[in-house]
Amino acid sequence: MELHPLRVFLTVADERSFSRAAEKLLRTQPAISLSIQRLETELNEKLIDRSAKDLILTDAGRIVLEYAKRYENLQGDLENALAELRDKSAGRLTIGANESSTLYLLEQIENYRRKYPRIKVQVRRSLSSRIPAELIDGDLELGLLTYDPEDERIVSRIIYTDHLAFIVSPEHRLARQEEVSIGELGEETFIAHNVVSPYRALVIREFQRNKVPLHMDLEMPTIEAIRKMVQRNQGVAFLPRMVVDEEIRQGMVREVRVKEMNVARPIRLAYPARRAVSHAAQAFLEMVGAAGAS
């Protein structure tokens, strides 16, 4: 089987449209349709349900799509390996991280790019729960996690330890206190991240354990939105300390310790256990490992 029809099929599936796939691949729509028909003939399976109004993949189409993605990842690995063979300072690096963990990477990537300016770096925003599967499937080379994946197919090591910070506006009634009890927070309006995470569950559980009401009356899609709402004194929040470090130093928000909520938040760097690590990824692992040891 040739790789080109699979790439055409992958593009059609991603774009959910023959015409948009044709534009992306710089080909005519009839040529795209013919390529898909030939692939279906070769596999003796219908891949796309043409009776539906919208583009829908058949069961066989979904299976082929999964393998087409693997082919594409393998091609990327091949190109990367050949680039590294020609020039040890070249290649690419793909890292997956959620919104908050991405901030940890900023300084690391700056140092990495200074040392390896010819390596292309792509940081993909991913849900933490999806990163292990993306590592195993080859969609990512490295991933940042805030939990132990407990999967023998993945190696992970702690490279940084953060903690959950309780933050309030400088104008808030608790802003001048260094420490409070969780019982003092029963009347507060909490601004929560609407992404489910182990730390959100931990906060809810701790309030329940102490029999303190938790009013999560506001939910926001991004950490940036939560920070701004806290700055405007519209509520309080628990956020990873590293995402509000600068705002705390500048006095834009205040961190107040909560006696019952001393929650460490380890950051793990993860990679597949059974796949060779590229030169680009190995260089990043060594750099972050050295930084963590210093």
Which of 110-114, 159-163, 255-259 holds the top average pLDDT?
Answer: 255-259
Percent of the chain past pLDDT 90, that is, above it, reads 43
Beta-strand ranges (E) seen in 119-229 are 119-125, 142-145, 154-168, 179-180, 189-193, 215-220
Say which residue, 182 or 26, is predicted with more confidence: 182
Q: What is the pLDDT of residues 97-152, one digit of tens each?
A: 988 888 788 888 999 999 888 888 999 988 888 999 999 888 899 999 988 999 99
Instruction: Calculate the CA dihedral of residues 228, 231, 234, 239 and round it to 10 degrees.
Output: 70
Residue range 88-101: average pLDDT? 82
Indicate if 260 and 132 belong to the same structural domain: no
Indicate if 174 and 258 belong to the same structural domain: yes
At which residue do the structure tokens 């990367």 appear? 80
Indicate if 180 and 251 belong to the same structural domain: yes
Q: What pLDDT shows up at residue 56?
A: 86
Indicate if 154 and 166 belong to the same structural domain: no
Indicate if 127 and 179 belong to the same structural domain: no
CB 286 within 8 A of CB 277: no
Give the integer Cα–Cα distance in Å for 67 and 207.
45
The SS3 assignment for 204 reads: helix
74 lies in some domain: no
Indicate if 131 and 102 belong to the same structural domain: yes
Indicate if 172 and 255 belong to the same structural domain: yes
Range of the domain at 39: 3-69
Q: Is the pLDDT of residue 86 over 70?
A: no
Indicate if 248 and 168 belong to the same structural domain: yes
Indicate if 130 and 271 belong to the same structural domain: yes
